Structure 1
Amino acid sequence: SLHIADQGAGLAFMDLSTGDFLATEFRGDNVWEKVVDELTRFSPREIILAECNNDTIQQKLLQDWSDGWVASPLEEWIFNLDYAQRLLLEHFGVATLDGFGAAGHSLSLCAAGALVHYLRESKLLQLGKTASLRFFEPSEFLKLDAATVTNLELVQTLDGSRKGSLLSYLDETRTGMGARLLKSWLLLPLRNIRQIENRQDAIESLAGRIQIHSRLARCLEEVHDLERLISRVMVGSAGPRELIALRNSLQQIPSIRSLLQEFGAARLVEIRDQLDPLEDVVALIQSAITEDPPASPNDPGIIREGYSRELDELRTICKSGKDYIASLEARERQKTGIQSLKVKFNQVFGYFIEITKPNLALVPPHYIRKQTLANCERFVTPELQEYEEKVLGAEERIASLEKEIFVQVRKEISRQGLRIQQTARLLAELDVYVALAAVAVKRNYVRPKMVEGDEIYIRQGRHPVVELQSSPFIPNDLYLNSTADQLVILTGPNMGGKSTYLRQTAIIVILAQMGSFVPAQEARLSCVDRIYTRVGASDNLARGRSTFMVEMIETA
């Protein structure tokens, strides 16, 4: 949701699959540029705007940002501050918003209120109920504007492909939620040294125990995308097989917690202690849903035998009734002496007895003619009709009862949505640590030392993408500070690696501040607050094109 006012702009972002609800605002100079930068980081697919300036804002966003989104205009009064505060208080069930850090954030409150209003009108409020609002300041993170994200090819290459980007080479995650979190970390590097070191400690601890690290990775491979699964459960669209996937995922948690006992890194200990095995949810699914259910909740065979006494009784009636009808054919053949007599079923007439024309003289008088065909006639008996009503009535009741029970089980699971989402976040974070540890070991990355001050020291630094595509890769050193070594004037021949050197320096800083190890022999870095780039027009190093070559091609 984007709220533009005379004083500045407010932004609120919600990921319905994860429950993340973030808000920020900008005042003063360069407000629009800051808005575009935040949209570039979060890449929303839908933006809520006020109708009064919808067309103008849409055009500016298409021009300055992207066309890969849709606009949802709302009436201007929905962005009113009083209405937003009232709506948010009601949504979170609290008496004050101070606990969320809302003081002094009137613009972002307006945006957040409009977003909650939209969820309510779109019947998606149940998903938003699990979200916890957090106001953030852009100064908490290393600033990466749209040009920097593009030029460094962090999440996609210059031609728009994910393959060949930095993210594609870092992504060793095993789960969908871990992959999304990794991308978020890459685009939102930290500026707090303690938080960075907590991440580094976790990665270092995992990288030092390769065998246990591998066992953790195998456990995570069995975990489905819990964030997406619980979202589908909460909106009532999850099918039986998705509940089994949820159960199978949660069943990995005891093993994961046991393996984490081997690690002493503070964040890994916290994840181990906070992971909720959700035994009640596992037990519910285990007792209620069959091991191999159909895909649709409208199909029979979902509910496990023994879960519902009424359902079990109906199944017994249905089974015995069908057994009876099967034996009826043999008994009627014996009684009538008609060996070609058959008991059949179709959707129009139900169960019937079929007798060929040559045997019609042997038909008993209590048979009731149902249909005449060219080669045979079809009959029913009072006994057959009675059992048909019993069997078909049981089948219809079984179908409706199974669906009722399934919906009730799904609702019961949805009540645990917040617990499942919290567990999903912890597993996603662990997945990122496991992935970054794997990358560090496989590619010989080192832990950078984060220091207070203003220096950047890199020994034998490498570009993490180019080194895998160009062999041999020549590492380079760098030293910068804000006093005697503020500037590097870099010269060299065309295709000599100048752009690569510039990019690898920025990427090493980004990797370090997201908490990752870096491609170098040694690195000592202080936190930076922003990275500016302008490396050529659209050169693509991985394709072997230099800045000069691309600019000459564009000129020609």
Structure 2
Amino acid sequence: MMQQYLRIKAEHPSELLLYRMGDFYELFYEDAVRGAELLDLTLTARGQSAGEPIPMAGIPHHALDTYLKRLVALDERVAICEQTGEAPSGTHKGAPMPREVVRIVTRGTITEETLLDSRQDNVLCALCRPSANGPWGLALLDLSAGRYALGEYSDKTDLEGELARLAPAEVLVPEGLDLDGMEIEHATVRQSWEFDYAAAHRRLCEHFGTLNLAHLECEHLKAALGAAGALLGYAQLTQKSALEYLDHLERLVSDSQLKLNPQARASLELESSLSGDPKANLLWVLDHCQTPMGARALRRMLNEPLRDFAVLRARQQAQTDLTASASDALLAGLLQRIGDIERPLARIGIERASPRDLGRIRTALTVLPELAEALQSLSAPLLRQIAADTQPLPELCDELVRALIDELPTHARDGGILAERYDEELDRLRNLADSASREITEMEARERDATGISQLRIRYNRVQGYYIELPRSQAERAPEHYHRRQTVRNSERYFTEELKSFEEMVHSSQEQSLARERALYTALLQRVRDQYARLQTCARALSLLDVLCCLTDRARMLDWHLPELVDTPGIEIEQGRHPTVQAHSSDAFVPNDVGLSETRRCLLITGPNMGGKSTYMRQVALIVILAHIGAPVPASRARIGPVDRIFTRIGAGDNLAAGLSTFMLEMMETAVILRQAGPQSLVLMDEIGRGTSTSDGLALAWASLRHLVLQRGSFALFATHYFELTELAESLPATVNLHFSANEYEDARGHVRLAFQHRVHEGATNRSYGLHVARLAGIPEPVLGDARSKMQELDQPRKESAGTETPPAQASGGRSPIEERLALIDIDQLSPREAQALLYELRTLLDRTASGTDNAPPR
């Protein structure tokens, strides 16, 4: 047996090998030591090797999923080795039972319901870049949903944004791949030949049964095909399956999406919060879907906002139809009964389904006729398409209803799945097995009468089978045809030829019954597989319907409204609110208007700390994102034009692991914005320059704002405490000042207090109320008094020189040295390293300018 184990383990050196022995999965040698440490198992020993005990640890077979979940969470790879046949007999008697690895479990390849988050996709990705200057190839596979896709990205920033959107559970990368500074979580390194284009092309053609990939329109995407081929090979290897249910390869078209980089996704808290609060994000506010597959579709939708207004208007029209007909509540109830069929369907396709997966398909099919009736009166084109895609399948439904019992078991191995009167032969075999107890009772009575021993019993256990049991005091009265089987403390156990024949008949009928049931069950699964494409289309349509009903409900319950989508660039919002802040606030939220247009592209926002600047900026971006998924928005009215990207520079935190300070992170993110933002981009920039000295920070903020307005022409919300910047509204085109204010009042003890209005006003302000905020934070009063005195001291020279100072941009009678330097740079041609070097150069230039040692821009 250990030789068999060592042979199998040699084939899986990088995995923990769970080796099935009876009712346990055992680990041996180093795997046992590691498994015991990771899972808190008792470490024992079995036999010896080279004179040393062989370490061993085990887990019960029924608890496999529990332990797998823990191992996968720790990024462990696990090979499941099962018994695949009967114990050898005859000349091979004594040989180990046949075993083989039936699957390899990794983070990206799990499909079990108990191991997955029901409301989140579990995506496996692969990256490929055949040449250092070529495009990046990306492929994704969600085994639990049957989704397979690929795409190419010439810009690393776009690739990083896509990976942030997908949040893959595991990423395959070829050995030696230069990631160009990218940090890849949960990376699995594979041999580089697995990503070879020619090998991938052959593998994909073989999988889809075609001579070429012309029908997929991706023959030219060599990097992406390399990733897709490696991904398919890895999935087939881990699943020990051809994965025939993957019958389509989608294209990931990033140009059709409103792009958000990882920083924007994080700072806007789309699906997770910066604080770690699981409820403080936009998805939590939105997700009232009735099915897990609908929740997953909503999450995908939120993470990939679209720029195609035709698609978005179709979603809006569907919601309008649902609202007008008041159908969403009825449909939501039907969807709740349907539940999740996407993942059970995938498990059926991958040949790893449980009887309960089949039961979920049955339940859904029984509800489809009611759903069809409910959709009949709706006229929106998208709802009509959903109705067409969710048409009932009466024959398959009737078959499953007749075949399956109501309460299905978790596993198929012990039978008990199929209902009575579904199959005559199965009923006959079951009756033979079920009649055993009656026949045993009758046989027991006959033997008592024949022997005159009233204490005679016929019993059964799994080891001895059927036997006649007599008290030891009556053993001498046993007839000659009783053959002794076992002696125990107080009784003797016997068998007779009649009892032996009966046992063989019972076992035979039970085995035949189980074999018959397994064959029928397998045929049922195949019936569902035959309808896989249609059922998958149905599942996706049901998911979309669930999302539309959810959004309709959110609009009604939260007083949200569908925005007007227009082709004219601009963003107009009336009475806009921040959806997450409003949902979690016990106070009434103060709504605000926003107006961005060709003549009003940059909003320069000033005001006190805690006054509402950051909330205001974020709510604008969130409303734009909601509009670009076709959802209602938290506003009384909104008019949204096309937006291609959203950039944010909000908040900061040291990345010590990468050796980056707060200021360096701020400058790197600012550099990305100044390089990539365009006329249809929405840019949020908050407190640029606060991570360095006042003069440095002011100069950088001044130059960045000018470049954003003059060179990039983006729609921008630029919040600052550098009040000197407000003068730029007079010289820069399409730039206006806005401010938030606060009211001062005296409390009962004569202390000056602050009441924030949280309302935006036209014009600028020059007050930050920093000391008031410090008091609210609990700074001791003596410290506040000292700070107040110092502030007055610092303000005095400023007041005396008021009107004589020249803004940084005009210090030399024209453009500043920094602006002169920036004017010479082709930002679009800068590499990330060149951009970083430029930042250091600008910093040096600032220092020289401040000290008066160098007023000439370097060439």
- Give the structure 1 partner of residue 602 of structure 2: 487
Percent identity among equivalent residues?
Answer: 35
Whether 2:150 is the aligned partner of 1:32: answer no
Q: Is the 8 A contact 2:451 2:477 kept in 1?
A: yes
- The secondary structure found in structure 2 opposite 1:493 is coil
Taking the TM superposition and a 5 Å limit, the aligned residue runs for 1:457-472 are 457-470=572-585, 471-472=587-588
- Give the structure 2 partner of residue 503 of structure 1: 618
* TM-score (norm: length of structure 2): 0.59
- Give the structure 2 partner of residue 414 of structure 1: 529
Shift of 1:124: 6.1
Q: Is the 8 A contact 1:224 1:246 kept in 2?
A: no
Q: Distance in 2 between matches of 1:128 and 1:499?
A: 50
Q: Distance in 1 between matches of 2:240 and 2:285?
A: 35
- Give the structure 2 partner of residue 243 of structure 1: 358
Query: Higher RCO, 1 or 2 (CA under 8 Å, sep at least 6)?
Result: 1
Deviation readout 1:104-136 (Å, 9 max, x if unpaired): 433323322332333333346644643422224
Residues 267 and 346 of structure 1, relative CA distance in 2, 3 Å threshold:
same
- The secondary structure found in structure 1 opposite 2:294 is helix
Whether 2:174 is the aligned partner of 1:45: answer no
Whether 2:132 is the aligned partner of 1:15: answer no
- Give the structure 2 partner of residue 441 of structure 1: 556
Whether 2:445 is the aligned partner of 1:321: answer no
- Give the structure 1 partner of residue 290 of structure 2: 174
Q: Distance in 2 between matches of 1:87 and 1:379?
A: 62
Whether 2:317 is the aligned partner of 1:201: answer yes
* TM-score (norm: length of structure 1): 0.89
Q: Distance in 1 between matches of 2:274 and 2:493?
A: 73
Gaps in structure 2 of 5+ consecutive residues: 1-125, 654-685, 687-755, 757-767, 778-859
Computing the radius of gyration from Cα coordinates, the structure with the larger value is 2
Q: Distance in 2 between matches of 1:83 and 1:51?
A: 16
Taking the TM superposition and a 5 Å limit, the aligned residue runs for 1:54-453 are 56-57=178-179, 60-62=181-183, 67=185, 69-76=186-193, 78-102=194-218, 104-123=220-239, 126-127=242-243, 129-210=245-326, 212-360=327-475, 362-453=477-568
Q: Is the 8 A contact 1:19 1:132 kept in 2?
A: no
> Which AA in structure 2 matches 1:141?
Q
Task: Select between 184-193 and 382-391 the one with higher mean Cα deviation.
Answer: 382-391
Q: Is the 8 A contact 1:199 1:515 kept in 2?
A: yes
- Give the structure 2 partner of residue 513 of structure 1: 628
Q: Is the 8 A contact 1:119 1:128 kept in 2?
A: no
Q: Distance in 2 between matches of 1:361 and 1:97?
A: 82
Shift of 1:487: 1.1
Q: Distance in 2 between matches of 1:131 and 1:165?
A: 36
Deviation readout 1:232-262 (Å, 9 max, x if unpaired): 1122221112211221122221111111112
Residues 264 and 363 of structure 1, relative CA distance in 2, 3 Å threshold:
same
Q: Is the 8 A contact 1:462 1:476 kept in 2?
A: yes
Q: Is the 8 A contact 1:16 1:128 kept in 2?
A: no
Q: Distance in 2 between matches of 1:245 and 1:196?
A: 31
Q: Is the 8 A contact 2:195 2:227 kept in 1?
A: yes
Q: Is the 8 A contact 2:137 2:224 kept in 1?
A: yes
Shift of 1:361: 5.4
Q: Is the 8 A contact 2:285 2:583 kept in 1?
A: no
- The secondary structure found in structure 2 opposite 1:351 is strand
For residue 475 of structure 1, the aligned residue among 581, 585, 591 is 591
Q: Distance in 1 between matches of 2:219 and 2:415?
A: 54
Shift of 1:296: 1.4
Q: Distance in 2 between matches of 1:350 and 1:11?
A: 59
Whether 2:637 is the aligned partner of 1:522: answer yes
Q: Distance in 1 between matches of 2:195 and 2:208?
A: 18
Task: Select between 284-293 and 38-47 the one with higher mean Cα deviation.
Answer: 284-293
Q: Distance in 1 between matches of 2:571 and 2:338?
A: 39
Task: Select between 240-249 and 512-521 the one with higher mean Cα deviation.
Answer: 240-249
Shift of 1:355: 2.2
Q: Distance in 1 between matches of 2:293 and 2:243?
A: 17
Shift of 1:3: 1.2
Work out the number of aligned pairs and report it: 534
Q: Is the 8 A contact 1:20 1:131 kept in 2?
A: no
Gaps in structure 1 of 5+ consecutive residues: none
Deviation readout 1:483-507 (Å, 9 max, x if unpaired): x111111122111111110000000
Shift of 1:139: 1.6
> Which AA in structure 2 matches 1:405?
L
Residues 20 and 384 of structure 1, relative CA distance in 2, 3 Å threshold:
closer
RMSD: 2.6
